[in-house]
Structure 1
Amino acid sequence: MSMSTFAGTAEHYRKYRPGIPRDVAEILAAAVLGRHPRRLLDIGTGTGLVVEALLTRFDDIIAIDTDADMLTSAEAAVRAKVPKNTRMTLQCCSAEEFTPPEDWHADLVTICRAFHWLDQATVLERLATQVAPDGAVVIFGDNSFWAAGSPWEDAVRAVILDFFLGERRRAGTGIFSHHDRPYSEIMQESQFCQVEELRVPVRRLWSTETILGYLYSTSFAAPHLFGDRLADFEVAIARTLAEFSDNDVFPEENEFLIRIGRRRGSGLPAFDSVR
């Protein structure tokens, strides 16, 4: 992932990206054994949404990202909330280059909304030496507006495509490259080959303001991509959304797809109640 992919989005990302629901945080925390110290590695942490959701569940946390502005936002938002006996380290580096401290092994690795940006096979191979023998790697996320399919979300996507004069999704200054293979299949080719999938439904209510804020947090609609047409884009979005609501409320049905990968024979907790 280029460091410029999310250039200028940190402020919007922290304010408008949905956080991690409590049900999802509970699944993440229950995916590994409780012990002390309990270590978390969060890859592609962005503004620290995953770390914030798990602060009371782990006492030794390393969160990495390639975007220094994102990490600055995470520091400002999360540091004051860190419990007294918890250590949180924010590090600016890529997952492909990250090396943990000597004798440090993660009990849980979380990759939220970021696996598509990574050299996936390389990262999973490196994690094999960075994760405790009974630890887990969890790759998870919800659907972005680009992938969602409600009528108003389809209309918003059409406006974005119209402004960029094409059918291809932007990714910063480049073009987004889709991954055709399911993440679980990729995980099954790594040491974390024992994979369980869980789905947690999420319902959200959006407004024109929060929709624009969310869009400005993405690689495909970051403010700088519009140049001097940003004001025109905001007018077009507001006009389009007005066709779908009289009270500026836009419901969204979404879900988190959670993939928990472990080494073969390490055992699996039961999550039947949330399937």
Structure 2
Amino acid sequence: MVDEMKFEPDLYRGTAGHYDRFRPPYPEAMIADLVRRAAPSGHGRLLDLACGTGQLAFPLHGRFAEVRAVDAEPDMTEVVRAKAIAMGADHVRAVTARAEDLCAEPESFELIVIGNAFHRLDRSLTARRAHTWLEPGGHLALCWSTSPWAGPRDWQRALDGLLRAWQDALGVSGRVPPGWAQARQRDPDRDVLSRAGFEPVERHEFSVEHHWTIREIAGHVRSTSFLPPPVLAGRAAEFDAELTAELGRHTVDDRLTESVSVAYELARRPRD
């Protein structure tokens, strides 16, 4: 077991609107597969930890009598609240809290989901607490998707280089703790979950093609913790111009194509 990486609070401050608009949704095939394997009763409760603007809570909400969507950022939970009201989903409740500080009833959830965020939490503490919050036989799903700058295509490599250069130029390369990925390699998520009492831990993978415009990429970058709007600040227009010039060489019909890899790791609290 290794020490958990510490991410500073408020890294996503000012990103909620961009997060909701420019983060690609989890594919329907993944959501359907998760529902099939977790087999919610339709009468239970769902907990979405570090929920963002509800990228998992809303696709799953129809399978549960109550949904609790939890995020440390007030801007995120405000968007969840507004979306729930707009769609008449009275059973979706937004809660502003750190996952590590949440007060929840023991054995009260059928399913707990964490989307693209487990590495930012105290994994050992969160896994242990999630284990107590789940009904016996309930499931925890860690959901993941790749980022547009992490792929092998020429435009993705160009985007990755541009983002690194801008982080260096703005002096914000340290917003994300260096070495966080290596820490997870030394102590994989499945081992963290196993120590907390979950069994088994199964990984299910999917791939979906996604088409971006340069404007959408610019919005997606603003949804990140490393180049959010408060960091770009007065240089946002300069960034957009450089992004357009760099990626414009790679567009086909004004689009950039990405093969998004999506996966979830499903673990179960054993029945007594």
Q: Structure 2 length normalisation: TM-score? A: 0.88
Please say if residues 43 and 65 of structure 2, whose CA atoms lie closer than 8 Å, have aligned partners that are also in contact.
yes
The DSSP-based 3-state class of the residue aligned with 1:96 is helix
Aligned twin of 1:271? none
Aligned twin of 1:273? none
Aligned twin of 1:127? 130
From 95, 105, 127, the equivalent of 1:91 is 95
1:49 matches 2:55: yes
Deviation at 1:212, TM superposition (A): 0.5
Aligned twin of 2:108? 105
Deviation at 1:191, TM superposition (A): 1.0
Deviation at 1:238, TM superposition (A): 0.2
Q: Map 1:206-245 to 2 at 5 A.
A: 206-245=212-251
1:183 matches 2:189: yes
Q: Distance in 2 between matches of 1:264 and 1:34?
A: 16
Deviation at 1:187, TM superposition (A): 1.9
Letter in 2 for 1:158: G
Please say if residues 200 and 257 of structure 1, whose CA atoms lie closer than 8 Å, have aligned partners that are also in contact.
yes
Please say if residues 169 and 175 of structure 1, whose CA atoms lie closer than 8 Å, have aligned partners that are also in contact.
no
Cα distance change on mapping 1:204 and 1:77 into 2, 3 Å = same
Letter in 2 for 1:78: A
Q: Map 1:57-206 to 2 at 5 A.
A: 57-83=63-89, 87-101=91-105, 105-165=108-168, 170=173, 173=175, 175=177, 177-178=180-181, 179-181=183-185, 182-206=188-212
Cα distance change on mapping 1:28 and 1:56 into 2, 3 Å = same
Aligned twin of 2:4? none
Q: Distance in 1 between matches of 2:139 and 2:172?
A: 32
Q: Distance in 1 between matches of 2:252 and 2:29?
A: 32
Q: Deviations over 1:124-154 (max 9, x none)?
A: 1111210000101000110113433322111
Residue range with higher mean Cα deviation, 45-54 or 148-157:
148-157
The DSSP-based 3-state class of the residue aligned with 2:38 is coil
Aligned twin of 2:13? 7
Letter in 2 for 1:100: A
The DSSP-based 3-state class of the residue aligned with 2:158 is helix
Q: Distance in 2 between matches of 1:72 and 1:82?
A: 15
Please say if residues 52 and 71 of structure 2, whose CA atoms lie closer than 8 Å, have aligned partners that are also in contact.
yes
Please say if residues 48 and 78 of structure 1, whose CA atoms lie closer than 8 Å, have aligned partners that are also in contact.
no
Q: Distance in 1 between matches of 2:199 and 2:76?
A: 31
Q: Distance in 2 between matches of 1:97 and 1:76?
A: 24
Identity %: 25
Deviation at 1:265, TM superposition (A): 6.8
Please say if residues 24 and 200 of structure 1, whose CA atoms lie closer than 8 Å, have aligned partners that are also in contact.
yes
Residue range with higher mean Cα deviation, 114-123 or 228-237:
228-237
Q: Deviations over 1:166-203 (max 9, x none)?
A: 7x9847x4545334323223222221131111101111
The DSSP-based 3-state class of the residue aligned with 2:53 is coil
Q: Structure 1 length normalisation: TM-score? A: 0.87
The DSSP-based 3-state class of the residue aligned with 1:218 is coil
Please say if residues 137 and 271 of structure 2, whose CA atoms lie closer than 8 Å, have aligned partners that are also in contact.
no
Computed over aligned residues only, the root mean square deviation of the Cα atoms, in angstroms, reads 2.2
Consecutive unaligned residues of structure 1, counting only runs of 5 or more, are 267-275
Aligned twin of 1:270? none
Q: Distance in 2 between matches of 1:242 and 1:87?
A: 44
Q: Distance in 2 between matches of 1:206 and 1:54?
A: 25
Cα distance change on mapping 1:69 and 1:28 into 2, 3 Å = same
Q: Deviations over 1:89-117 (max 9, x none)?
A: 1111111111214x661110000011111
Deviation at 1:245, TM superposition (A): 1.8
Q: Point out the structure with the larger helix share.
A: 2
Cα distance change on mapping 1:82 and 1:2 into 2, 3 Å = farther
